[in-house]
Amino acid sequence: MPKSFFENKELREKRFETIINTSLRLFATYGYKKVTIDQITKECHYSHGLFYHYFDTKDSVLKEIENRCNKLFKDEFVKLSKEFEIGEPFLVEVVRLLINYINQGHISNYYVHLMLSTQLARLNEGDKFLFMDKETSKLLVKSLQIIKESTSQDKITTFKNTIIYFLTVIDSLSYYKIVYPNIYSNKVNADSFYTKLINFVYKNN
């Protein structure tokens, strides 16, 4: 018996989401460059033809994930910026937000790791914030600048290193939670993590 219009629509949406969520997990676990379309289709149990029905390339899958990630964190960051003063109060809440996503695991943490690892790769290659939404990145950068100016006397060290240290520490935690879920199964306390994070960043910067 032929499927109804709504049944077909639901099936298309399910397949689309399966490809997105599977790709997100693979990209976050193995790195975008190492994952192939063949690997994605095998994990989804879909044919290559079905994959190309929804996406032209692997890049187009990443673009969809980026759009979702940007919207997710933009909405959250902007909301926090309206409730907390830009600087340390805002940054504390940002770390708390990210740690909450990391503690949730699975899709939530995949988004955190993919966002931060991609951003770090681009920063290390000399690019500016490309993965994060511009408004989101400006809020983060401004807060880090305020804290650096109030805690660091060293004006020689580039501010870029501050950003890289900050993102690397959070991303490392996110990555270990993905790769070693049994070893790093305990939930992280966001407040104590923030204190250690800031001490580490400015001690090494």
Q: Check residue 119 and give its pLDDT.
A: 81
Structure tokens at 84: 């907390």
Helix boundaries (H) for the chain: 5-30, 37-44, 48-54, 58-83, 88-104, 106-124, 134-151, 159-179, 190-203
Helix/strand/coil (H/E/C) assignment for every residue in 13-47: HHHHHHHHHHHHHHHHHHCHHHCCHHHHHHHHCCC
pLDDT band at 3 (very low <50, low <70, confident <90, very high): low
Closest residue by Cα to residue 178 from 130, 91, 106: 106
Q: Check residue 181 and give its pLDDT.
A: 86
pLDDT tens, 118-172? 888 777 776 544 456 777 888 888 888 888 777 655 554 577 788 888 999 999 9
Q: Check residue 135 and give its pLDDT.
A: 78
Q: Check residue 32 and give its pLDDT.
A: 86
Residue 201 CB contacts under 8 Å (≥ 6 apart), including other chains: 162, 165, 166, 169
pLDDT band at 183 (very low <50, low <70, confident <90, very high): confident
pLDDT tens, 42-87? 999 999 999 999 999 999 999 999 888 888 888 899 999 999 999 9
199 has pLDDT over 60: yes
Q: Check residue 1 and give its pLDDT.
A: 57
Q: Which fold has domain 1-55?
A: Arc Repressor Mutant, subunit A (1.10.10)
Output the average pLDDT for the chain.
86
Q: What angle do CA 78, 82, 87 make, to 5 degrees?
A: 85
pLDDT band at 178 (very low <50, low <70, confident <90, very high): very high
Mean pLDDT of 5-27: 86
Exposure class string for 154-173: b at 16+ Cβ within 10 A, else e: eeeeeeeebbbbbbbbbbeb
d(CA 180, CA 198): 25
Q: How do the domains of the chain map onto residue ranges?
A: 1-55, 59-203
